[in-house]
Amino acid sequence: MSVLIFIDAAEGQVKKSSLEAMTYGAKIAEQLNVAAEGVVLGNVTEDLAALGKYGVKKIHQVSNDELKNLDAQVYANVIAQVAEASGATVIVFSNSMDGKAIAPRLSARMKAGLVAGAVALPDTSNGFTVKKSVFSGKAFANISVATPVKIISLSPNAYKTVAGEGTAEVVAFAATVDAPKVKVTSVNKASGEVPLTEAEIVVSAGRGLKGPENWGMVEELAKLLHAATACSRPVADADWRPHNEHVGQTGFAIAPNLYIAIGISGAIQDLAGVNRSKVIVVINKDPEAPFFKAADYGIVGDAFEVVPKLIESIKKLKGVA
Amino acid sequence: MKILVCISKTPDTTAKIAFTDNNTKFDESGVQWIINPYDEWYALVRAIELKEADASTVINLVTVAGADADPIIRKALALGGDEAIRVNANSHDSFYIASQIADVAKQGGYDLILTGKETIDYNGSSIGGMVAELLDQPFISLAAKLELAGTKATLTREIEGGEEVCEADLPLVVSAQKGMAEARIPNMRGIMAARTKPLKVVEPVAADSLTTVAGFDLPPAKAGVKLVDPENVDELVRLLHEEAKAI
Ligand SMILES: Cc1cc2nc3c(=O)[nH]c(=O)nc-3n(C[C@H](O)[C@H](O)[C@H](O)COP(=O)(O)OP(=O)(O)OC[C@H]3O[C@@H](n4cnc5c(N)ncnc54)[C@H](O)[C@@H]3O)c2cc1C
């Protein structure tokens, strides 16, 4: 028996969200007193054995050129084969974009109950119940799963990666791999930038910044903090910023360690995307802005004065000129 | 071309989230219901655009819900769509719901099935993938663009930190998100027409539920904001560094 963790290594590199999934899955394996194993699809350049430090004892690698790009149908089929062979009773994904494509298919294929967007370890004291975020971060639901195999996809940034000691045994797994029906023709990735959904720190700005020409200071602050940039919906709608920065009810839901909101009023639909952030800082000139109610730290002031000072102060802290 | 659009009823985005019956039931009192925004703004409107480009296109809507969802379906029909099917069942289990939709899909023989990327209440992002698996069709998740040329679809899909363009042949299941289309408001003619469009109610087929909701919790209240003087930004940085350990 095992807990099987899907290790997403698109483009040859293991994603940060998969490190979280491994740490989380290894902890469940400990709870259930079974082995933690991983599955990697595709030709990966990274040293897989070293992933043992996140608690996985064994990694099944399926190397096949057909797995170069994601076709959820092909991936789910292969993962099901590995799950069966390793006797998995729990399968863990990150609730990343790829996880959202694969986990539901696998759930239907294996008739394995799925908890999508888990935020905590399962409670195994009485059955198997997992807490997940619902109502766009405004509440949690405890979902009970009674099927023999259970699938959990873990919310990004919900479980802290812990690196310990150990190496994993890497074994080649011979799977039947179908030809993909989805053909990826191009991948467009902003290289060097921190992906928004994986970022530890996010600097976000709203209509209070008046226009796209004023985003220089937001980008500078983000760069200094190795943060991703985000924005409110009207900002994306007005094309001041790209759509993939839009957070909220109808954009991305994120849960970084630190979220800095500049010139954003904090409408309920906007908060829905960011309310699971651990620490929220709000900079707004209106002391009545609703965002202050959701904030941990705040400055009532003009962003055009406060943000440059904040940049200087962080430079001092980090010792950069 | 036959398109099936999955529609879900969700609480309005400003609804107060509270629970009753010892935190096991969502408190519906005073709640306004809307079409799940992803289903409406992106999946349904894109289907309508495809019909505008090719008048022979037929759009059916499907929902799995009780009769209390009928006003929501009528609203969706007012935007567009030829007829709606409501599978008369109440469930919170994605697999059960997907099984019902897959059954409707099998009977209708659709070229394209569109869902929203997730519902704003259960945030599962699961129905599309499950339906695709049950129908043995390809699934493109989180699509921000969809173009059709004959039986070939070209899609743009969101990936971490970017997007990818991919192609697949119909039939196909797609979950739609922002970028797919622009939100519309139903006009008077649409609202009038929706009254007479067929809304077929069918009974559910036998299907398993794989999960149950044991209960809900609300997040702990925030301790309250610590305000820092705008003339003393260094203090904010100190707090973030020393107290919150966030930078
Ligand atoms: C169904 C639905 C879904 C929605 N989904 C989303 C969503 O996903 N994401 C989202 O963001 N919104 C969403 N909205 C819109 C949301 O209701 C708000 O309209 C939006 O979030 C407001 O954006 P904002 O805070 O940038 O702008 P505003 O509300 O205009 O706020 C600007 C803020 O900047 C402050 N400000 C102005 N000048 C300065 C200055 N010099 N220095 C400091 N502060 C300044 C002002 O005090 C104000 O608080 C949705 C709405 C609906 C109805």
Q: Give mean pLDDT, residues A23-38.
A: 98
CB A204 near ligand 1, within 6 Å: no
Q: What are phi and psi of B191, to 5 degrees?
A: -65, -40
pLDDT at A189: 82
Helices of type H across chain B? 37, 45-53, 70-79, 94-108, 127-135, 188-196, 233-238
Query: CA-CA distance, A145 to A189, in Å (whole number)?
Result: 37
Mutation to probe ligand 1, out of A285, A292, A299, A302 (largest number of atoms < 8 A from CB): A285
SS3 B100: helix
pLDDT reported for residue B152: 97
Chain A, 199 to 258: residues with Cβ < 8 Å from chain B are 201, 225, 243-244, 246, 249-251, 253, 257-258
Say if residues B161 and B154 touch (Cβ distance below 8 Å).
no
Q: Report how far residue A237's alpha carbon sits from residue A242's, in angstroms, rounded to the nearest whole number.
A: 9
User: Which residues make Cβ contacts (< 8 Å) with residue A203, sequence separation at least 6?
Assistant: A218, A221, A222, A225, A227, A228, A229, A230, A260, A262
Instruction: Give the alpha-carbon dihedral of B148, A67, A7, B98, to 10 degrees.
Output: 40
- The alpha carbon of A270 and the centre of ligand 1 are apart by a number of angstroms equal to 7
Instruction: Please state, in angstroms and rounded to a whole number, the distance separating the CA atoms of residues A154 and A21.
Output: 7
**A35-44: per-residue pLDDT in tens?**
999 999 998 8
Nearest CA to ligand 1 atom 1: B13
CA B141 → CA A101, A249, A307, B96, B146, distances in Å?
Answer: 5, 18, 37, 20, 11
A297-307 pLDDT, tens digit each: 999 999 999 99
Q: Which of B198, B158, B117, B220 is nearest to A242 (CA)?
A: B158
Residue A149 gets the label, from left (phi > 0), alpha (psi -120 to 50) or beta, of beta
Vertex A151 angle, CA A150 and A155, to 5°: 140
Mutate to test the interface with B, among A78, A138, A183, A275 (most CBs of B within 10 A): A138
The burial class, CB within 10 Å (0-12 / 13-18 / 19+), for A167 is middle
Cis bond leading into B71, ω under 30°? no
Cβ count within 10 A of residue B191 = 14
Cα-based distances in Å from A100 to A155, B103, B124, B140: 11, 22, 9, 10
**Which residue of B28, B118, B147, B166 to mutate against A (max A Cβ within 10 Å)?**
B166
A303 lines ligand 1 (CB under 6 A): yes
Residues of A in contact with B160 (CB under 8 A): 15, 17, 96-98, 195, 197-198
The span from the CA of A151 to the CA of A3, in Å, is 10
Please determine, for residue A12, whether its predicted confidence score (pLDDT) is greater than 90: no
Q: Of all residues in chain A, what percent are helix, strand and coil, respectively (each to 5)?
A: 35, 25, 40
Find chain A residues with C-beta within 8 A of B158's C-beta. Answer: 97, 244
Residue of B nearest to A150 (CA): B210
B209 to A107, A145, A183, B9, B126: CA distances (angstroms): 12, 10, 33, 20, 14
Write down the pLDDT at residue B223.
87
Q: Which helix (H) or strand (E) holds B168?
A: strand B162-169
Please check whether the two domains, A2-172 and A196-318, share a CATH topology: yes
pLDDT, average across residues A284-292: 97
C-beta separation of A206 from A236 below 8 A:
no
Q: What is the pLDDT of residue B15?
A: 93
d(CA A261, CA A266): 9
CB contacts, 8 Å: A316 with chain B: 234, 237
pLDDT at residue A45 is higher than 90: no
Is residue A98 over pLDDT 80? yes
> Nearest CA to CA, how far is B50 from chain A (Å)?
21
Are the beta carbons of B120 and A141 separated by less than 8 Å? Answer: no
Domain ranges of chain A: 2-172, 196-318
Most A CBs within 10 Å, among B123, B130, B167, B170, to test the A interface: B123
Chain B residue nearest residue A224, CA to CA: B247
The A residues from 176 to 205 touching B (CB cutoff 8 Å) are 181-190, 193-198, 201
Q: Is the CB of A263 under 6 A from ligand 1?
A: yes
**SS (HEC) of B219-246:** CCCCCCCEECCCCCHHHHHHHHHHHCCC
Give me the pLDDT at residue A171, please: 97
The amino acid present at A305, given as its one-letter code, is E
pLDDT per residue as tens digits for the range A234-265: 999 999 999 889 999 989 999 999 999 999 99
Smallest CA-to-CA distance from A314 within A257, A260, A254 is with A260
Query: In which region does residue A22 sit, left (phi positive, over 0), alpha (psi from -120 to 50) or beta (all else)?
Result: alpha
CB proximity B208 to A under 8 Å = yes
Which CATH superfamily, name and number, covers A2-172?
A: HUPs (3.40.50.620)
**Measuring CA to CA, which residue among B137, B64, B75 is closest to residue B106?**
B137
Share of chain A above pLDDT 70, in %: 99
CB contact under 8 Å between B163 and A188, yes or no, is: yes
Is residue A193 predicted with pLDDT exceeding 80?
no
A2, A29 Cβ separation under 8 angstroms: yes
CB contact under 8 A, B129 and A310: no
Given A184, A193, A306, which is nearest B230 (Cβ)?
A: A306
CATH of segment(s) A196-318: 3.40.50.1220
Confidence at A21, pLDDT banded by 50, 70, 90? very high
Is there a contact between A93 and A6 (Cβ–Cβ < 8 Å)?
Answer: yes
Q: Which atom of ligand 1 is nearest to the CA of A234?
A: 23
Which residue has 């959904």 as its token pair?
A197
> What is the rounded radius of gyration, in angstroms, for the C-alpha atoms of chain B?
21
DSSP letter (8 states) at residue A309: H
- Distant-in-sequence, close-in-space partners of A118: CB < 8 Å, separation ≥ 6: A95, A130, A131, A132, A152, A153, A154, A155, A158
| pLDDT (0 to 100) of residue B230 | 96
Per the CB < 8 A criterion, the answer to whether A91 and A131 are in contact is no
Give the tokens for residue A71: 């076709």
Percent of chain A with pLDDT over 90: 90
Is A170 or A46 the better-scoring residue by pLDDT?
A170
Distance from CA of A36 to the nearest CA of B (A): 24
Find chain A residues with C-beta within 8 A of B244's C-beta.
258, 279, 296-297
Residues 6+ apart with CB under 8 A from B27: B16, B18, B19, B20
Stretches where chain B sits below pLDDT 70 are none
Which of the four pLDDT bands, split at 50, 70 and 90, describes residue A158? Answer: very high
Cβ neighbours of B210 in A, within 8 Å: 107, 111-114, 145-147
Structure tokens at A93: 């994904």
Say if the Cβ atoms of B165 and A251 lie within 8 Å.
no
Predicted TM-score of the model (pTM): 0.94
Fold of B2-219: Rossmann fold (3.40.50)
Q: In chain A, what residues touch B159 (CB-CB under 8 Å)? A: 10, 97-98, 187, 189
Q: Which of A138, A131, A279 is nearest to B218 (CA)?
A: A138
Domain ranges, ordered by start, for chain B:
2-219
ipTM exceeds 0.85:
yes
Nearest to B226 among A105, A117, A297 (CB): A297
Q: What is the DSSP string of A177-214?
A: -PPPSSEEEEEEE-TTSPPGGG-SEEEEE-GGG-SGGG
Ligand 1 atom index nearest CA of B13: 1
Nearest Cα neighbor of B216 from A129, A275, A128, A142 is: A142
**A242 CA from centroid of ligand 1 (Å):** 16
- pLDDT attached to residue A192: 67
Interface of B with A in 168-207 (CB under 8 A): 168-169, 178-179
CA of B165 to the centre of ligand 1 (A): 31
Chain A CB within 8 Å of residue B240 CB: yes
The answer to whether the Cβ–Cβ distance between B141 and A100 falls below 8 Å is yes
